[in-house]
A and B are shown apart, each in its own frame.
Chain A
Amino acid sequence: MRRLLTLLAVLAIALLARGVLAETILTPQGPAEVFSRGGQFDLAEVLRLTGAEVQFAAAAGSYSAVLGQREVQFTPGGTLAVVDGRLTALPTPVRLVDGRPLGTAATAEALLSALGWTLRQGARGWEVAALGGGERLQVSVVRDAGGTLIVVRGTAQEPRVILTPGQVGLLFAAPVALAEPIRPDGELTGGELNGPLLTLRLKDGVAVSSSYALPDPPRYVVRLGGEAQAAVVPLAPARRAGPLVVLDPGHGGEDQGAKGPASELEKSITLAVARATAARLQAAGVTARLTREGDDGVSLGNRTALANQLQADAFVSIHANAYRGKAVRGAETYYMSVDASDADAAAAAAAENVDAAPDTVQLILWDMAHVANLNASARLARSIQERFNELQGIKDRGIRQAPFVVLTGATMPAALVEIGFLSNPADARRLTSATGQEELAGVLAEAVLAFLRSREPAAEAGR
């Protein structure tokens, strides 16, 4: 009996410590239960309260919430979100706990506001509500000396304008309603409201020359005139014409990394080499992005998240090494380490979870996708290491595998290269000199280009 009571007490303490709760959130449709733990909400469940379609996209390693024409993506483990194609920072990281993306109320609010909703705590508890509710739009046509204007009254929002042949779309950040149906009038032949998107249809040959917001009273004006525009302004970012590589200069900000004999900092060396490498890649027609442009502190998760969200063709993290023994020198390249047990577990979990929630299955598929990238990552690492070995005076420390944080989250071929030891005098001379850094960048760019050239044609066709 005493043991049973002890067990029950321990279980109770453990459950309290884990803070497992179902939080009630008021919605326009009534109260809803949302998973919550330790003051953090299941972000997918919160976003679904708006009517958004929320899915985990295995290819990008991100959650995607779509409501009308608005889309927000966020990645577990990071503090970045993509709102309608633009990268934005979240207040706190999204954590993946038991297959659920958990985030603070502030993070939930940031994601909701991207969809035109808000999360607030009032006297009745937590509440999810549409932003700008009550805004009722009136659409009318006005003619002046300069031509014809379509005036949308009843809102102070500045919508995103989407031009397609024969019509103009106004995408509002917050849901809006039409005070009355849109009446055809001259160049305006009709229109309708679909969620936050107001579509205005135009007479053949009529185009939009400009659009702008005006105050007192708040209104949005679309001025018509000129030739019809053939070009379509797409909602989604244009597909890339060529390959994209994300280079990650290790460390940054308060995290200085290793130090050289004269206190040279690893974070400065990696940034210099990354910049020079990027310049060489750009010159060769490859788009190169850095995870940090200056001396910024970027979390390890966000570095990989950027590459995932850009769906980069390759990710290379650049570091300078250090060791207590000053004789240790040379370059070494790492690629992702996946324990055999991880792959087996993922496969077994996939087989056992045929009835699991879509998110769970997608997460498992994502894990398996990491495993599938192993071969390409190994080829990238080999390409890098082989070219570093050709450098005069460099010691070959080989290709290795290790569970580095920046590699385990990548959904594309990824490698981490240690370009030399700052603790070794000879290596440090190369690492800290401008000519040495250019030399290292040249080798690295050449290695990345060789890897991109070696990819199978199917990989290109699939882009």
Chain B
Amino acid sequence: MSGPSRVATAVLATVVIACGKSPRPSGGAAQVATPEAVVMSTVTLFFPGDDGLLEREPREIADLPESGPARIRVILAELLAGSQNGRAPVLPWTATIHAAFVDRTGNAYVDLSAPPAGTVEGTATETALVYAIVQSVVANCQGVERVQLLFDGTEVTSLGHLDLSRPLVPRPELVAP
């Protein structure tokens, strides 16, 4: 299946799932707010290191959704918020997360605001930023095996070098030992 078709199918599947799980009104019964304990989860994020390889960084996140697009969005938000250990930002531009969705075959789609022209220079920069996202999403979202980056809602062939027209699998050799 081609890239656009995959995306269309993924969107369709996501919409269908969302339709099927739409919560119904509770029938007017009063909801009583009860204090709940905050559940902390530990995830592993990947940031570009000094030598071009990705460095692991554990992160405690409160009330992390168990799965699905909501979990991906939280992971991405933490990643784009930056390193707490002084490592370089993942993206060399201020990006917005437009959307995240998952299809039934283990592909996650991440839609970000597009980089301004000339922002991403060099394969080392491009490889680090793309695989920081791929590694972080796959490592922390069960069932996700591949990640495709979209920019401003559309597929792109490349940011200059890497083939982004289809979902990418993690590349462990890009992670520092």
A interface vs B, CB < 8 Å? 3, 6-7, 10-11, 14, 17-18, 96-98, 251, 255-259, 266, 300-301, 319-325, 327-328, 334, 337, 339, 341, 397, 400-406, 408, 416, 418, 421-423
Contacts and interface: CB of A to CB of B under 8 A. Distances in A.
Contacts of B20: 3
A422 B2 contact: no
B163 A422 contact: no
A315 to B, nearest CB: 15
A323 B125 contact: yes
A301 B121 CA distance: 20
A198 to B, nearest CB: 43
Interface stretch (B4-12, B30-38, B94-102): B4-12
A258 B19 contact: no
Nearest to B122: A322
Nearest to A320: B122
Given A325-B51, A402-B162, A98 B1 contact: yes
A403 B122 contact: no
A327 B51 CA distance: 8
B169 A405 contact: no
A98 B8 CA distance: 13
A71 to B, nearest CB: 27
Given A319-B123, A339-B169, A341-B169, A328 B162 contact: no
A255 B160 contact: yes
Given A98-B1, A404-B162, A324 B157 contact: no
B15 A324 contact: no
Contacts of A423: 121-122
Nearest to B51: A328
Contact of B16 (A10, A324, A421): A10
A448 B92 CA distance: 35
Contacts of A406: 161
A96 to B, nearest CB: 7
Contacts of B11: 14
B122 A258 contact: yes
Interface of A is mostly: mixed
Contact of B5 (A98, A321, A322, A401): A98
Contact of B163 (A7, A322, A397, A405): A405
B168 A300 contact: no
Nearest to A409: B163
B140 interface: no
B77 interface: no
Contacts of B8: 14, 17-18
A10 B12 contact: yes
B177 to A, nearest CB: 14
Contacts of B1: 98
Contact of B122 (A6, A7, A321, A408): A321
B162 A403 contact: yes
A323 B129 CA distance: 11
B132 to A, nearest CB: 13
A256 B118 contact: yes
A433 B96 CA distance: 40
B124 A323 contact: yes
Given A7-B16, A257-B121, A319-B161, A324 B5 contact: no
B162 A98 contact: no
B2 A98 contact: yes
B52 interface: yes
Given A3-B20, A402-B171, A403-B168, A325 B162 contact: no
Contacts of A327: 50
Interface in B25-53: 48, 50-52
Contacts of A17: 8
Contact of A405 (B12, B127, B161, B168): B161
25 contacts: A3-B19, A17-B8, A18-B5, A96-B2, A97-B2, A98-B1, A319-B123, A321-B122, A321-B124, A322-B121, A322-B125, A323-B125, A328-B50, A337-B171, A401-B171, A401-B173, A402-B123, A402-B162, A403-B168, A404-B161, A405-B157, A408-B163, A416-B123, A418-B122, A421-B122
Contacts of A324: 48, 88, 92, 125
A236 to B, nearest CB: 33
Residue among A322, A334, A416 with most chain B CB within 10 A: A322
